[in-house]
A and B are shown apart, each in its own frame.
Chain A
Amino acid sequence: MAVIEVKDLHKTFIRQDGRILNVLNGISTEINKGEKIAVIGPSGSGKSTFLRCLNQMEEPTKGTVIFNGEDITAPGCDINRVRRKMGMVFQHFHLFPHLTVRKNLILSPVRHKLMTPDEAEVKAQELLARVGLADKIDEWPDRLSGGQKQRVAIARALAMNPEVLLFDEPTSALDPEMIGEVLDVMKELADSGMTMYLVTHEMGFAHKIADRVLFIDNGIISEQGTPDEVFDNPQKPRTKEFLSKVLHR
């Protein structure tokens, strides 16, 4: 069953100089429960904008996003309630630097009365252990390395018990030697059955964990299929060109 259903999504930005930028030009797809989708494509192709439309960080110009049968692009929809079920992990982590790791994790669950402070505390310890940072619970975010920050950010998203996790280039801002530790955590999440939507440049990782790969170009899904189909036997010339550039072959 589809957790997220996207129908004919368009997004147009009007720039300050009045020029119109068509970023998304009609995207339709479904994300099923437990499915891992990797999204690849050249920069500026609209893949991040598409991800941000899924939890309405960007308001689509046209089209609908349906989450668990509810149209979340409808005007009366309480988007804050929906976002509690859709975790998001950012390229630049965006931990709250004025709060300790512990408070980063428990702020939202406790504020929304999803858990008591005690329950949230237990959950926070559990999640930090899961991402391998149990000893960092009282640490300040600025004292963590990039890889540690991103693992805390993943734990923070998980603290809301989301049904879907959206990853927006989670390893692009990391030093190369820290990418592995974050991918390991994501691999473990994927194995545990989490529904994941991942925008990435890590082709090897996408190949390994994705059930389906989307190649987005010029604001449309120009090609999609299993990792083997897209990576090893791309059909469109644009896909071939992109892959040959990023895979150096």
Chain B
Amino acid sequence: MTATRRDELTRPIVAWLAASLLMVVLLHARQQPLWVCGGFLALVLWRILHAWRGVPLPTRDHRMLWLLKHALAIGIFWVVYRRYGGVIGRDAGISLLVLLIGLKLLEMKSRREFVLIALLGFFLLVTAFFYSQSMPVALYALACVTALLGSLVAMAQPGRARSVGANLRLAGTLMLQAAPLMLIAFVLFPRPGSPLWSLPKDARRAISGLSEEMSPGELTRLTMSDAVAFRVAFSTNRPSAAEMYWRGPVLVKTDGRTWTPGDPSDRSAPAITAQGVRYSYSITLEPTNRPWIYALEHPSTVPRGTRLSRDLRVLSARPITDRIRYSAESYTQAWVAEADSEELRAALQLPPGAYPRTRALARQWRLEDRTDEGVVRRALQYFRNEPFVYTLSPAQIYGDPVDGFLFGARQGFCEHYASAFAVLMRAARVPARIVTGYQGGEYNPVGDYYIVRQRDAHAWVEVWLGHRGWVRVDPTAAVAPARVQRGIDQALPGLGATVGGTAADLAVDLAGWRELRYAYDALNNRWNHWVISYNARRQSAMFDDLGLSADWRALSLLLGAGLLLAGALLVAWSLRGRRAHGDAIARAYRRFCAKLARRGHPRAPYEGPMDYARRVSASLPAAAADITRITGLYARARYGQTSSAADAQALRSAVRRFAP
């Protein structure tokens, strides 16, 4: 019953669509469960087998298969519902979309359905950006778009068996032609300050990064992650690695095991006496879902939209859900001279009854040394002299975590040292708090910036030394100086391998490879900066720089004008391309026709020059001689054996003088 229709969907066309859809689904394979991709593959295979082997499709003619199709459709909904507890939401929606597109393939009988499925393919492609907007994904998506366009091109010309390359070339040309429009729309499309629609709830997964809590093992877990926390570009001199403390949450309260922030205070930042070297830099922060951003110690100027808290954290009004870029300034040393009694009392709090041995040791130091500085020195001395080991995999500590660490295991990572040190200080009546954040960073010479990764996470301590204010003390530096001076990779050489080292990590010695990785990261950084982070704020900033206002009305106008201009350019370009085909002769003849058209005698596109001349001459007898002469000249110049420049010249001047 569908003889002609089947003709439309020839094997190459079906293969095109199947291949491009598989490409798109491959992009989802990382996030979607295996059965979704497997199911899709099976459905595509079915369609392919139909095209090549004549395996029947589930049409009404095959009752059982037809029933099977409906059962499958219901089954898909059921399984998705069972798996996700609903059919709404990002993951569930995409699973559903993938499988139903597969089913739709089996129903495809006509060009219309083919086009529909191809468009669904485009939609499915877009949903991949829920998961990642990185450059490789974008490039791959571009390839998918080309393939889908290629399918449409193949379908549009069923009679012509064009090679795969020819189809792709045409698709590529189409994309190139669309590129200016895309650019204009990207730059000018009015961007809402907040998303127009809210993403499905599951769109924002937990992101690994520092939290506002610290318990033993917390940072150790982070060191397993190669993920980038942020990138920093200095516009001034760069500080040395040992100075690069990136300040994050400040933890004051402890229950003996876990550290949490102090009571929130809405009082403004304390007066700071800045000293030392000023560093000015900009940070591109990956999304954290946390309402604070990171800055070099000690921040003095913070970006717009954030404020400096009393404990020198940079707080943002809303959680950082998208990659942002901000500029800040910091001084290597700062003197925070004020602290009220409440703040200091909180910095002395210890859970009652915990760590008896630690308290005893601290009390002993206190008795031996009157000054706070002396106690700090003694504590650092203690860490340096006793056989403490800086390690990622400390022995399990039973019982009291601090006592067990200081007097038992003596193996730990920065959080163990920081919390033990803070407890020691508090026990000796020296106010102390823990600061978490990142330390160090990897310099990328290609892009001239530092990459700070999750595994650079660090914890250190600040103690209150009356006249000197809050002073940073890093007990980890006492145990493993290399950690601070040369970075975590140097301090723990086996790290790359222990974190399930990729080939990349093992091969870091290859200079060329390292170079390549830096170049790639630099490229990624640009991509993030110019493409991903181009939001409403950046858009308006850009237009401010150009001296234009960027409210949505102006943007819409500009967008309209830009699109119009691009459209006009495209038309002009295509006309020029056509004109390049013809030459001066064709141009002159077109002018001749245009003159006659103005007299009400346009030439039909398919009308031959001699027929046209005959027809028009009959209507315009006065001009008949001229028309005949010009047409003769044109015929000889364009179709004759010997057409010379003189002919073209004669034709041109005749047409110029021609006035019907």
State yes or no: do A and B come from one complex: no
